[in-house]
C-alpha cells in the first residue's frame, strides 16, 4: 500500500521527528522502566523477606509484610513508568491517597486490630499453647492471627478476642515462666497446738516430690484472725504441677489435721439471751 503524503499534507520527516520517534522512545522507555523496576521490586521484596526470616519473625507476619512491600513497590514502578509516557501522575497519586484514606477510615477498627496483631507477633507476650488471661477471658492460646487471637477455655469453648482488645488491656501469662509459687492459707482454732500444726505443714511440703527445694518453700503464721490462726503455705513448683499440688494439698491438709486432732474452725455466731425480770 502506497501512502500519498502530499494528499495528506504530511511531511514524513516531520512526522517521524515530531511524533513517531518521541512517542516511540517514551513507550520503549516506559516499558523498560516497568520491567526493570518490577525486577528490582521483586529483588528488594525477596531480600526483605530473607532479613525478616533471619530475624525469626512469625511466618504469617513475614508473608503479610512482604506482600505489602511488594505491592507498594510495584505501584511506585507503575506510577514512574506512566510518568515516562508523559502522564500527569500528580492527580493519580492524589487519587490513590484519597482512596487509601477512605479505606483507612472505613476500616479504622480493623486497622487498629491489625496494628495490635503486628505488635503481638513482634513482641510475643504469649505464644501458641500458653495459658493466659486477656480481656477478662482465660484459656490456652490456639492461634494468633493478624486481626484476632483464638483461645480455648478450660471447659473446651473457643473464644475469639480482637487483637485491639488484647493489646490494650492487661495480659496475664500463667505459663510463661517455668516455675510458679502456690499460695495457700490454712486456719486452725485458737485452742489448737500451733507448733504442731506448723510442723505438719512443713513435713507435708518436705515430703512432696513435686515441690522444689529452690526457691525454698515458706510456712509461717500469717495473721491472727477473728476466729482462727491462719498459716500461709507457699511452695514453688513447676508450672505444669501448679493445680495438681494445690488441689492435693487442700485435701491432704484437711485429712491430716483431722487425723492429728487439729481443729479447722468455721464461722459461727454465739447468740446470748438476757432475761429482764424487773417489774414495770
Domain boundaries, the chain: 12-106, 122-173, 179-260
Q: Would you call the peptide bond into 215 cis, given omega within 30 degrees of 0 as the criterion?
A: yes
Q: Summarize pLDDT for 39-92 with one digit per residue, the tens.
A: 888 888 888 888 877 877 666 667 767 777 887 888 888 877 777 776 666 666
Who contacts 183 (Cβ-Cβ below 8 Å, separation ≥6)?
232, 234
For residue range 213-240, what is the model confidence (pLDDT) as tens digits?
Answer: 989 999 999 999 888 999 999 999 999 8
Lowest mean pLDDT among 82-86, 102-106, 184-188: 102-106
Decide if domain 12-106 falls under CATH 1.10.1760.20.
no
Residue 96's pLDDT is 64
Helices vs strands, H then E, count in the chain: 8, 10
Phi, psi of 186 (to 5 degrees): -130, 135
pLDDT, residue 107, reads 47
Residue 5 banded pLDDT, cuts 50, 70, 90: very low
Q: What CATH number was assigned to the domain covering residues 122-173?
A: 2.30.30.60
Answer yes or no: CATH 3.30.70.100 is held by domain 179-260: yes
Amino acid at each position: 500500500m502506497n501512502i500519498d503524503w502530499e494528499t495528506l499534507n504530511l511531511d514524513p520527516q516531520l512526522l517521524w521527528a515530531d511524533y513517531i520517534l518521541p512517542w516511540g522512545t517514551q513507550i520503549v522507555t516506559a516499558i523498560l522502566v516497568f520491567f526493570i523496576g518490577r525486577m528490582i521490586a521483586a529483588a528488594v521484596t525477596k531480600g526483605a523477606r530473607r532479613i525478616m526470616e533471619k530475624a525469626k519473625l512469625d511466618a504469617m507476619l513475614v508473608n503479610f509484610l512482604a506482600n505489602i512491600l511488594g505491592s507498594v513497590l510495584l505501584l511506585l514502578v507503575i506510577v514512574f513508568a506512566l510518568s515516562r509516557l508523559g502522564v500527569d501522575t500528580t492527580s493519580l497519586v492524589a487519587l490513590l491517597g484519597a482512596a487509601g484514606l477512605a479505606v483507612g477510615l472505613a476500616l479504622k477498627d480493623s486497622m487498629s486490630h491489625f496494628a495490635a496483631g503486628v505488635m503481638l507477633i513482634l513482641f510475643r507476650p504469649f505464644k501458641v499453647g500458653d495459658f493466659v488471661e486477656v480481656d477478662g477471658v482465660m484459656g490456652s492460646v490456639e492461634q494468633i492471627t493478624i486481626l484476632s487471637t483464638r483461645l480455648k477455655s478450660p471447659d473446651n469453648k473457643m473464644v475469639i478476642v480482637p487483637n485491639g482488645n488484647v493489646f490494650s488491656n492487661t495480659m496475664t501469662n500463667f505459663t510463661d515462666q517455668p516455675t510458679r509459687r502456690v499460695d495457700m492459707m490454712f486456719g486452725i482454732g485458737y485452742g489448737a497446738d500451733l507448733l504442731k500444726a506448723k510442723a505438719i505443714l512443713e513435713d507435708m511440703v518436705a515430703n512432696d516430690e513435686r515441690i522444689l527445694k529452690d526457691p525454698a518453700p515458706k510456712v509461717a503464721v500469717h495473721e491472727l484472725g477473728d476466729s482462727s490462726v491462719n498459716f500461709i503455705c507457699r511452695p514453688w513448683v513447676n508450672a505444669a504441677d501448679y493445680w495438681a499440688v494445690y488441689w492435693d494439698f487442700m485435701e491432704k491438709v484437711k485429712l491430716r489435721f483431722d487425723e492429728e486432732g487439729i481443729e479447722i474452725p468455721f464461722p459461727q455466731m454465739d447468740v446470748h439471751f438476757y432475761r429482764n425480770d424487773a417489774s414495770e
